[in-house]
Amino acid sequence: MIFGGVEENVVTRDEFTLEKAREVLKNETIAVIGYGIQGPGQSLNLKDNGFNVIVGQRKSTTWDKAVADGWVPGETLFEIEEACKRATVIEFLLSDAAQIEMWPTVKAQLTAGKALYFSHGFGITYKERTGIVPPSDVDVIMVAPKGSGTSLRRLFLEGRGINSSFAVYQDATGRALERTLALGIAIGSGYLFETDFKREVYSDLTGERGTLMGAIQGILLAQFETLREHGHTPSEAFNETVEELTQSLMPLFAEKGMDWMYANCSTTAQRGALDWMGPFHDATKPVFEKLYQEVACGNEAQRSIDSNSKPGYREGLNAELKAMRESELWQTGAAVRRLRPENK
């Protein structure tokens, strides 16, 4: 398929059907290891699509969540070691830090012919830092949904799907590619596009720190603060910064693209956007380049590993998130959302 004049390997659900996926995986037991961000969406979609799936999770609050979602201890829910022992496909969906911690347990159960599945290229790409080096007699594969597990599940229930990238790092069985594509369809992907582990993690880390989360939060905060400092009320500043973006413009953008969004705005908005696009591009492009280089050289990975392994990391993270949640910007946002008609 051609994207912007570049040919890419794309696999759709019409080409690789759910029925074909079921045939490929009919003798497989898929263990979803971890029930945090991606685990619930992928495991529940697999189950609803008729695949033989179990969950492996440490006994914690997420264990209780898995039970609440219908996974049965001793039947479809096990501790991690036992789930890996029972599986032929191990979906390693723990956080990057938890993958490093649990790798010896998982590796011990990677007998010949099994498949080790990732949804992020971090552990393999930075193997010198993570210590995750799979044995040579297993398939090492990846399907990376381009969205959260929550969105993967929600869109699945709506009969839609999130697009996912896929990659084969190691083909020990000669079946790695078909296993990968089958799993991508089985978890409910919209379509699958080919990548490799390095490109996936470089683009993913850049995107998360950039327009997906870090940059968008920074830009929204900067505009909100500017409007507030010039006397605009919190409600006005939030509506002009966030509410109109997410409720009006982004749906147009998602439907048919940026040009469609522009076409459905006033000529005044169009003129101003075109004039100011350049200054914003010029101001942020060096930041994105610096970010990419930090990802490529491994500094971002090391920062993540170091910070996530510190004692009290979770408490510190929760404190930072609490400060964001309680900021004027997002307290205003909570009030605005409560006033939406669907929430009344």
CA distances, 141 to each of 4, 91, 114, 233 (Å): 27, 9, 11, 51
CB 173 within 8 A of CB 147: no
- Phi and psi angles of residue 71, each rounded to the nearest 5 degrees, phi first: -80, 135
- Pairing between β-strand 10-12 and β-strand 191-194 as defined by DSSP bridges: antiparallel
Q: In 3-state terms, what secondary structure has residue 69?
A: coil
d(CA 83, CA 87): 6
- Does the annotation mark 230 as catalytic? no
Q: In 3-state terms, what secondary structure has residue 269?
A: helix
Q: In 3-state terms, what secondary structure has residue 202?
A: helix
CB 68 within 8 A of CB 89: no
Longest dimension (CA), the chain: 66
Residue 117: strand pairing partners: 91, 141
d(CA 204, CA 296): 12
Torsion of CA 253, 255, 259, 264, to 10 degrees: -80
Cβ-Cβ contacts under 8 Å for 84 (sequence gap 6 or more): 31, 33, 56, 90, 105, 106, 108, 109, 110
Catalytic residue among 120, 230, 232, 281: 120
* Side chain identity at residue 27, one-letter code: N
d(CA 47, CA 116): 19
Q: Which of 199, 164, 203 is nearest to 11 (CA)?
A: 164
Catalytically active residues, by annotation:
120
